[in-house]
Amino acid sequence: MTTLLIRATLILAGSELLVMALLSRVELSKPLAVALDPLLMVAIAIWPLYLLMRKERRRLEKQEALDAKLHGIVDNLWNASMNTLSRDAFLAAVLRELLDTSAIPLQRKGAIFLQENGEFRLKAEVGFSEAERQSCSAIQSGRCLCGAVIESRRPVYASDVDDRRHVRTGGGRPHGHYCFPILSGNDLFGVLTLYLDPGHRRDPAEERFISSVCAIVARIVEAKRLESSLRQMQKVEALNRFAAGISHDFNNILSAIRGYCDVALRGLPGPSQAAGDIRDIISVVDRGALLTRQLKLYSRQWPEEYSVEDLNLVVKESSEMIRHLSGAGIKVSLKPYSEPLPVRCNRGQLEQVLLNLASNARDAMPGGGEFRLETSCREVGFPGKKRSMTAAVIAASDTGSGIPQELAEKIFEPFFTTKPEGAGTGLGLAMAHSIISQHGGEITVSSSQTGTRFDIYLPLRGGSEEPEVLEKDL
């Protein structure tokens, strides 16, 4: 408003000067000049004043339209977040809502990328061709306009396609961009990119509007993330109590059955049909005992023997065990890090995690393939964790069938299995997750049709984050 008043005053003052200059050139009687002066001044000032007022009215109308749209979006997004929409369906709804904003000259095209396992992956898009979906499936810091947002954590604007754009798929219409960070506090959750009509001039009102939408999206994505980890924790806790309750009694029953089987076997004179049947019972009982072992591990009844071990050695010894279990069609390869990787761990539990990963890999490669174990050392940060940590990393990858994206979110849930009844309990990865969390670490998965990779991060002894969490959690 102040700017408007200053501009109006300047226009009036300018007009007055112009009138005075005009009148001084024309010989007029004084009374006529006094009468003409205000009339001329108003006539000269009125056109720029009219233009100024019109511009201001348009600005206010646009602001009103954007505010109304923002209210609508908040309402719709809030409803969408309350119902059972998955996170990605919710993001697609956000994009559609935004692209319906007539107050900004947007093309019907845009995308949302979210951070996942340290990468910014395409999660929702509108108007992308197959080639664009492929080339923009993930964005890297510093590359393209969206990459510039990751680097600077600030909005990036382009009125036309310029040299900052690295991905060129060809065939697209000329356009400009608004690329915005999706931030919650200091955490960069993702990036939103919108396609503008070419030559559009950046507008602070539009930028405020898009920033507000991004802030809402960040809050809702964060809430969804917390909600799902809370659900997961509740399930894990319920299962822990259940497992703790039954594993002990169940093991006693199995030991008794096995004992009676041994006695019965000893009582039989030699090889017979009955002896074969009893051996079958023993092997089923042994499988039951293995399951009880898993339950004990899961419910944290396992002896808490922690020691500092070189992760290279733990992985090397496990790989030998895995080679025996995997069968002839599967090549097990190992690439240890060049230096020792001291971590504080329960060796038995870590071996169990690697066995679980290897047994899943074996099941995913019925026609054979490769299971690779690689260790390394990295500085990593995870969303929701305040500090980054220096981690000893185990990457366990296979060349199997992969995990469809819609299932990847569920695989760490207890009892989630895609295996036929009786073939899988769905506890392998839940247990792996529970054990790695108890060690103060993280486990992540990435998968495609050509295989799956699990990354296990454990705090490196002497690294930036000592595993005090471990003692607290146990």
Ligand X SMILES: Nc1ncnc2c1ncn2[C@@H]1O[C@H](COP(=O)(O)OP(=O)(O)OP(=O)(O)O)[C@@H](O)[C@H]1O
Q: Which of 135, 388, 390, 425 binds ligand X (CB under 6 A)?
A: 425
Task: Check residue 352 for interaction with ligand X (CB under 6 A).
Answer: no
Least CB distance from residue 137 to ligand X, whole Å?
20
For β-strands 330-335 and 307-310, DSSP reports them as unpaired
Q: State the binding partner of 368 from Mg ion, ligand X, none, CB within 5 to 8 A by kind.
A: none
C-beta closer to Mg ion: residue 146 or 353: 353
Per-residue x/- track, 437-456, ligand X (CB under 6 A): ---------------x----
Contact 122, 256 (CB under 8 A): no
> Beta-carbon neighbour count of residue 327 at 10 Å?
10
C-beta closer to ligand X: residue 270 or 422: 422
Distance CA 437, CA 208 (A): 40
Kindly give, in sequence order, each residue whose CB lies less than 8 Å from that of residue 326, ignoring residues fewer than 6 positions away.
332, 358, 361, 362, 371
| Selection from 180, 164, 159, 165 nearest residue 111 by Cα | 180
DSSP 194-206: EEE-TTPPP-HHH
Least CB distance from residue 450 to ligand X, whole Å?
11
Residue 182 CA, chain-centre distance (Å), reads 12
Least CB distance from residue 66 to ligand X, whole Å?
45
Q: Which of 293, 416, 465, 466 binds ligand X (CB under 6 A)?
A: 416
Task: Check residue 360 for interaction with Mg ion (CB under 5 A).
Answer: yes
Total residues interacting with ligand X, rule: CB under 6 A: 21
Residue 116, classified by CB atoms within 10 Å of its CB into exposed (0-12), middle (13-18) or buried (19+), is: middle
Kindly give, in sequence order, each residue whose CB lies less than 8 Å from that of residue 236, ignoring residues fewer than 6 positions away.
414, 430, 434
Contacts for 400-406 with beta carbons within 8 Å, 24 or more apart?
400/361, 400/363, 400/364, 400/365, 400/369, 400/451, 400/452, 401/364, 401/365, 401/449, 402/364, 402/447, 402/448, 402/449, 402/450, 402/451, 402/452, 403/445, 403/447, 403/452, 405/447
Per-residue x/- track, 362-381, ligand X (CB under 6 A): --x-----------------
C-beta closer to ligand X: residue 220 or 350: 350
C-beta closer to ligand X: residue 137 or 418: 418
Question: Which range touches ligand X (CB under 6 A), out of 62-70, 93-101, 216-224, 423-431?
Answer: 423-431
Distance CA 432, CA 438 (A): 10
Distance CA 90, CA 225 (A): 13
Task: Check residue 360 for interaction with ligand X (CB under 6 A).
Answer: yes
Least CB distance from residue 395 to ligand X, whole Å?
13
Q: Which of 400, 440, 463, 467 binds ligand X (CB under 6 A)?
A: 400
Question: Which range touches ligand X (CB under 6 A), out of 171-179, 247-255, 328-336, 360-368?
Answer: 360-368
Q: State the binding partner of 427 from Mg ion, ligand X, none, CB within 5 to 8 A by kind.
A: ligand X
Least CB distance from residue 314 to ligand X, whole Å?
20
Question: Which range touches Mg ion (CB under 5 A), out of 140-148, 220-228, 301-309, 355-363?
Answer: 355-363
C-beta closer to ligand X: residue 150 or 285: 285
Q: State the binding partner of 419 from ligand X, Mg ion, none, CB within 5 to 8 A by kind.
A: ligand X
Which strands sit side by side in the sheet containing 138-139, from one edge to the other? 138-139, 119-126, 106-116, 187-196, 176-184, 156-158
Binding positions for Mg ion, rule: CB under 5 A: 360, 428
Binding positions for ligand X, rule: CB under 6 A: 356, 360-361, 364, 398, 400-401, 403, 411, 416-419, 424-430, 452
